[in-house]
Structure 1
Amino acid sequence: MSDTPHLQPSGPGDDDQPDLAEILRALTGGDLSSNPELADALMQMGVQDLDPAMLQMVQAQVQAMMSGPADGSFNVQLATDAARKTVSAAGDSSVSSTTSRDVEQVVQVANLWLDEVTDLQAPTAGARAWSRAEWVEQTMPVWRRLVEPVAVGVGGAIKTAMQQQLGQLGEADLASELGLPPGVDASALVGQMEPMVARMSSAMFGMQVGQAVGALASELVTGTEVGLPLVEGNPIVVLPANVAAFAEGLGIEPGEVHLYLAVREAARARLFDEVSWVAPALIAAVQSYAGDISIDTDRIEEALREADTSDPAAMQSALQGSLFTPEPSEAQQRAVQRIETTLALVEGWVDVVSERATTPHLPHVAALSEAVRRRRASGGPAERVFSSLVGLELRPRRLRDAANLWAALEEAGGAQARDTAWEHPDFAPSGADLDDPLAYVERRTGSAPAAPERDALDDELDKLLAQGRAEMDNDTPTDDGDDESSSRTSE
């Protein structure tokens, strides 16, 4: 207590009085000398004149709002803990050494197959078999980078909304709204609430991130299935428990499912590792979108009005959920186009390369590819997570166009032409190239892909189409009579 000599216990005869310095130390979250402004403000509010019961009440309320470490715009530790609790509630067990060795062997085979179809090298980080909780721990640094812009916006919106609401209240109403006992200067306390609001916002958004990431960890089969470089260092990550769940009901031997998914993950890891600009471009595009998001301040103000402001837990619960109504700006629309195009190019390349690598070795590649497409087309867990956190639908809508472009480029110039298109972002296909892939192929290789060989089935189909056009023309009167009908049929 020597650090704060002006905050001494009440006096030698007052054994029932609390140690005021200790109470204020608890209120301010630690050593009073590190926060003398807040300590002085609390003294000026008349805290020292309260009876012990009221003082304990103030301590409980303020300490609750001030609890937890300050951790930037959102509490990453709280997010990690919430995500771990989410996966634990769904069931999560550590990966045994036997399973880890099995995954390493599967990835080794996957890399051997990929070596036959691409010159992009396997990352040196090797293979990893992770539990859901391990995936949470390892990917949280990247999640922080992705959602930080939204967390900053949410924190600012909450602060503004709270200041506006409190500013509209009179002194008596303000004390009542804050749940303060008589004798405390409520207006002075408002000036000291900003750190509390910041911590509350940080904790609230951290909890939301944790719940979303935990739900995603319970469904992803591999480390970067979402198409984003979430795993630092680009190891080839497999989540065995989720792969086993995905394999159920497919009617395909689980070992084949593991191999197919490992090939896809290994291909994606090679791309992120060898093509240095792809991962930063994706991260930057998501951050650009998130940084320009429109926060729903009306909803925040409504939540603050309805919540019990004296109960931090109730306020946090009220503020959780969708905190924004996205109204895409021009910058956001451009960011969305970059995200969708780059995601489509990445996943289209992975589709083509994986098919080339697995078709000679696995009997059910078509069925497995279709299962992956259905999973992706339904939105999947990644889209739900990004929709809740940044209001963004993370879906490569032009995936089929991208896959067709890569296949055409490979046909015209071989696997080398397909892969060297990634060498520089200026060389990579654009959204416009997805509209006209043959023009891009001709520009890159100097020749368009050869026309596919015709067979008897093609001839029969042409005959049927010609017959159908002739019948339609005969049923439609024209000014030129049979001559025009005959001419259109010959076309």
Structure 2
Amino acid sequence: MSDVPFGFSNRDDDPDRKRDDQSGSGANNPFGFAFGGLPGGAAAGGAGGFDPAALGQMLTSLGQMFSGMGQPGAQSGPVNYDLAKQLARQQLSSAAPLTDGSRKAVTDAAHLAELWLDPATTFPAGAVKTVAWSAGDWLEQTLPTWKRLCDPVAEQVSGMWSSTLPAEAREFAGPMLGMLTQMGGMAFGSQLGQGLGQLAGEVLTSTEIGLPLGPAGTAALLPGAIAEFSKGLERPESEILVYLAAREAAHQRLYAHVPWLRQQVLGAVEDYARGIRMDFSAIEEAAQTIDPMALTDPSKLEELLSQGTFEPQTTPEQRAALERLETLLALIEGWVEVVVTDAVGDRLPGAGALAETLRRRRATGGPAEQTFATLVGLQLRPRKLREAAALWRSLTTQAGLDARDTVWSHPDLLPGSADLDSPAGFIDSVIGGGTTAFDDPLAQLAETEAREREQRAAENGDDSDEAPQK
């Protein structure tokens, strides 16, 4: 496969979206080849009518093509993950193995970071273990989450094939649709493998890109990538390791003790992916011009795969999911930044410069963000990170640690995007007791049920002291 990105470009009138959209465009979509053209220039369902003999010829050509592709393993879903893992590992074959020294350094840094974090937040340690990962370890441990994030996108694209065929052609196209779906799974698997291979060699921790990619309760740092990242920063690598360990531990505390957070973050990505809607007009037009016999020529296939014939339309549901995700990521990253800054204090002289370096690394995107945009189709960026950090800082100063961390007790208590722009009203509501209603959700539920029982008893004319139980 060519290394054209899988990412979708979204047609969005929001200038902020356009300004930051650097992901691949529909013109570079490897799924963007049309399949409807038939030999002799007659499109399926077009003026020339549907020709079963031509379809059979196409199936034969596709079968010959598949027999020489040599795909590893069987594909059971919309993405060929066996192929993805194989291609990713090929990129990591030269990575240096972990040493006992690097493992011990990670363990010591994590232990120190946890001690420093204890007085900076009310959340206790959230990681059951802290480990050193190689790039290959990162690939293996995060792949289950990538499957969860990528499958909704691939399923939408896979459904394109049957949606665009006319009813008459659909009766004859069962085997061909299966082949096309398999081709799609291989194309996505190829892009996934290339992207994850690059990302695995660059990420510093399991939570660096904002998502909880690794197993719950496992904090992980990648010493090889951290050593490369440390070059040119003019700070000791040990100091950088402790700072990154503190950030990883802070993320783990938040995800471990805010039980709804992991689902909210990953669910927002899934909602975005499931909202993809295709404009099939370009496919229908291409169906009249593409000769399916070209599929037997690998160079022609590469050309078709790289041209692209459709772009997804950004729906209101996607915009809402994206705004929800961006705000949530900003709140998470802003909270982590404030907590880690308070935890390390003056212990790490270069902490301020490190925080700014990591903030810019996220804000400017870079390979990690572009990889995610390629795989899932959206820019993963906490656009209001500075505003979120300023809000958490003000809330910490004016209301204290307990009130600040209690805001995480229920998703409805979190500040919204507008609050990040104008935080004064939100901070006043917290200081004034705005979070008390959800301080104990179970107690609130019991109180609500008690009121409902009392109301039913009154409606039934029951004057007894104890209302009937549900």
2:319 is equivalent to residue 333 of structure 1? yes
1:243 to 221, 226, 233: 226
1:357-376 aligned at under 5 Å gives the runs: 357-376=343-362
Question: Structure 1 208/297 Cα, relative in aligned 2: closer, same or farther at 3 Å?
Answer: farther
Give the TM-score of the pair, scaled to structure 1: 0.69
In 1, the alpha carbon distance for the partners of 2:300 and 2:155 equals 21
Check the 8 A contact 1:229/1:279 in 2, yes or no.
yes
Check the 8 A contact 1:275/1:423 in 2, yes or no.
yes
Q: Cα offset for 1:66?
A: 9.2
Check the 8 A contact 1:129/1:238 in 2, yes or no.
yes
1:126 to 119, 122, 129: 129
Question: Structure 1 63/114 Cα, relative in aligned 2: closer, same or farther at 3 Å?
Answer: same
Question: Structure 1 262/124 Cα, relative in aligned 2: closer, same or farther at 3 Å?
Answer: closer
Check the 8 A contact 2:62/2:179 in 1, yes or no.
no
Structure 1 unaligned segments of length 5 or more: list them: 1-44, 46-55, 169-186, 449-491
The amino acid that maps onto 2:242 is L
Q: Cα offset for 1:125?
A: 2.5
Check the 8 A contact 1:383/1:392 in 2, yes or no.
no
1:80 to 55, 78, 85: 85
In 1, the alpha carbon distance for the partners of 2:268 and 2:61 equals 47
Question: Structure 1 429/306 Cα, relative in aligned 2: closer, same or farther at 3 Å?
Answer: farther
Check the 8 A contact 1:294/1:324 in 2, yes or no.
no
Helix, strand or coil: the match of 2:205? coil
Q: Cα offset for 1:287?
A: 0.7
Q: Could you list the per-position Cα deviations for residues 382-406 of structure 1 after superposition, in whole angstroms to 9, with x for gaps in the alignment?
A: 3202322233111111111111111
In 2, the alpha carbon distance for the partners of 1:447 and 1:76 equals 50
Check the 8 A contact 2:271/2:321 in 1, yes or no.
yes
2:101 to 90, 98, 102: 98
Structure 2 unaligned segments of length 5 or more: list them: 1-52, 54-59, 435-470
In 2, the alpha carbon distance for the partners of 1:57 and 1:297 equals 25
In 2, the alpha carbon distance for the partners of 1:322 and 1:223 equals 34
2:110 to 103, 107, 111: 107
Residue 413 of structure 2 corresponds to 427
2:67 is equivalent to residue 63 of structure 1? yes
In 2, the alpha carbon distance for the partners of 1:384 and 1:59 equals 34
Q: Cα offset for 1:369?
A: 1.2
In 1, the alpha carbon distance for the partners of 2:308 and 2:393 equals 40
Question: Structure 1 321/385 Cα, relative in aligned 2: closer, same or farther at 3 Å?
Answer: farther
2:155 is equivalent to residue 152 of structure 1? yes
2:375 is equivalent to residue 389 of structure 1? yes
Q: Cα offset for 1:433?
A: 1.9
Percent identical across equivalent pairs? 40
The amino acid that maps onto 1:440 is F
Question: Structure 1 252/312 Cα, relative in aligned 2: closer, same or farther at 3 Å?
Answer: same
Q: Cα offset for 1:334?
A: 0.5
Q: Cα offset for 1:72?
A: 0.8
Task: Specify which structure has the bigger relative contact order, considering alpha-carbon pairs within 8 angstroms and separated by 6 or more residues.
Answer: 2
Question: Structure 1 143/59 Cα, relative in aligned 2: closer, same or farther at 3 Å?
Answer: closer
In 2, the alpha carbon distance for the partners of 1:321 and 1:342 equals 35
2:309 is equivalent to residue 305 of structure 1? no
Residue 202 of structure 1 corresponds to 185
In 2, the alpha carbon distance for the partners of 1:290 and 1:85 equals 28
In 2, the alpha carbon distance for the partners of 1:321 and 1:219 equals 29
Task: Name the count of aligned residue pairs.
Answer: 373
Q: Cα offset for 1:237?
A: 0.8
1:117 to 107, 116, 120: 120
Residue 275 of structure 1 corresponds to 258
Helix, strand or coil: the match of 1:236? strand
Residue 36 of structure 1 corresponds to none
In 1, the alpha carbon distance for the partners of 2:204 and 2:374 equals 21
Check the 8 A contact 2:247/2:337 in 1, yes or no.
yes
The amino acid that maps onto 1:109 is L
Q: Could you list the per-position Cα deviations for residues 67-86 of structure 1 after superposition, in whole angstroms to 9, with x for gaps in the alignment?
A: 54122111122222222223
Q: Cα offset for 1:432?
A: 2.5
2:444 is equivalent to residue 440 of structure 1? no
In 2, the alpha carbon distance for the partners of 1:362 and 1:317 equals 53
Pairwise CA RMSD: 3.1
The amino acid that maps onto 2:67 is Q
Give the TM-score of the pair, scaled to structure 2: 0.72
Helix, strand or coil: the match of 2:82? helix
